[in-house]
């Protein structure tokens, strides 16, 4: 397993958000995380990326316990990319500077090499001509693809995508989903929190349904989305589809 979350607990005040959650992800696997709003999808992804500290339980990446307080979070975050619903690009920086900032400033990559890698990725996703533009000169779909490239230039072992198409106009969703599908083709390991059930069905190897702070049900997309075992999964799907 590349990633193992074991018995992960997270509370905010009296709210138990993750309640002994278990989830494992194999190398090259794509797992779609579904569940009602507030079910803890974002919290789980933030815990995996060490933006939120777990109260209890362990998260292991590549055999290393990353919930160990002695671990350097910057080193872990280089191995785990996280992209949010709101692309969070820096508005006062060009596309190229947005992408190269962390590799150069945080990880000490030589600027020329960082720029070269950034341009390779921008070329691949058809955005090379936007490298000198500022984010507000790009469509939402283009900005989100830049945000994904920004995560990819660290060559992460694992990519976490949190509702990355939720803020987009419908006509811009497709270009982002195509990029994610291409990444799957490259063998990228991904966990994607999503409300796009059609996309989850197409691209995910496994769907995990979060409910009451646990993975209530998981399995192949056709089974979990088409013929769920649990009544609560059926209720959720009936509401959303
Ligand atoms: P989802 O992404 O599935 O919609 P979240 O992980 O965002 O769910 O939220 C799960 C629950 O945790 C919600 O009830 C939310 O209000 C609560 N929560 C998340 N982050 C915080 C925080 N920093 N402080 C307090 N409560 C939080
Ligand atoms: Mg969320």
86: pLDDT strictly greater than 90: no
- Asked whether the predicted pLDDT for residue 93 surpasses 90, the reply is yes
The conformational region for residue 213 under phi > 0 = left, psi -120 to 50 = alpha, else beta, is left
Residue 157, token pair as written in the block:
């072992």
Position 240 confidence tier, pLDDT thresholds 50, 70, 90: confident
Residue 7 has φ and ψ, to the nearest 5°, of 55, 45
- Provide the token pair at 126: 């058809």
| ipTM entry | 0.98
Residues with CB under 6 A from ligand 1: 12, 15, 17, 35, 37-43
CA of 41 to the centre of ligand 2 (A): 5
Give the end-to-end CA distance of the chain in Å, rounded to a whole number.
Answer: 32
Ligand 1: residue whose CA is nearest its atom 16:
38
Instruction: List phi, psi (to 5°) of 59.
Output: -120, 125
Write down the pLDDT at residue 34.
97
Confidence bin at 10 (pLDDT 50/70/90): very high
Q: What's the token pair of residue 85?
A: 């619903």
6/17 Cα distance (integer angstroms): 15
Q: How far is Cα 89 from Cα 97, in angstroms, rounded to an integer?
A: 10
Tens of pLDDT, residues 159-216: 999 999 998 999 999 999 999 999 999 999 999 999 999 999 999 999 999 999 999 9
Q: 């533009």: which residue's tokens?
A: 133
> How crowded is the C-beta side of 179, counted as CA atoms within 13 Å?
25
User: Looking at residue 6, what is its pLDDT?
Assistant: 98
DSSP 3-state of 139: coil
β-partners of residue 64 are: 61
Mutate to test the pocket of ligand 1, among 5, 32, 40 (most ligand atoms within 8 A of CB): 40
Task: Give the residue whose CA is nearest to atom 7 of ligand 1.
Answer: 42
Q: Among 9, 12, 18, which is best to mutate for testing ligand 1, by the most ligand atoms less than 8 A from CB?
A: 12
Which residue's CA is the closest to the ligand 1 atom numbered 5?
Answer: 40
Q: Kindly report the pTM of this predicted structure.
A: 0.95
């Amino acid at each position: 397993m590349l990633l193992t979350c074991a018995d992960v607990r997270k509370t905010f005040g009296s709210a138990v958000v993750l309640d002994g959650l278990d989830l494992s992800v194999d190398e090259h696997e794509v797992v779609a995380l579904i569940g009602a709003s507030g079910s803890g999808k974002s919290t789980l992804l933030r815990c995996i990326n060490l933006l939120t500290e777990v109260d209890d339980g362990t998260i292991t990446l590549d055999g290393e316990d990353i919930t160990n307080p002695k671990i350097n979070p910057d080193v872990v975050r280089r191995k785990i990319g996280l992209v949010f619903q709101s692309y969070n690009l820096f508005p006062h920086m060009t596309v190229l500077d947005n992408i190269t900032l962390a590799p150069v400033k945080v990880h000490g990559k030589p600027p020329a090499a960082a720029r070269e890698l950034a341009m390779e990725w921008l070329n691949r996703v058809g955005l090379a001509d936007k490298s000198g533009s500022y984010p507000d000169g790009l469509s939402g779909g283009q900005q989100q693809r830049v945000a994904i490239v920004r995560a990819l230039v660290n060559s992460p072992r694992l990519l976490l995508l949190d509702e990355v198409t939720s803020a987009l106009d419908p006509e811009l969703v497709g270009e982002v989903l195509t990029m994610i599908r291409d990444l799957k083709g490259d063998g990228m390991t991904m966990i994607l929190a999503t409300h796009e059930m059609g996309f989850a069905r197409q691209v995910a190897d496994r769907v995990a349904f979060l409910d009451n702070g646990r993975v209530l049900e998981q399995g192949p997309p056709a089974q979990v989305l088409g013929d769920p075992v649990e009544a609560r999964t059926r209720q959720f799907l009936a509401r959303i589809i």
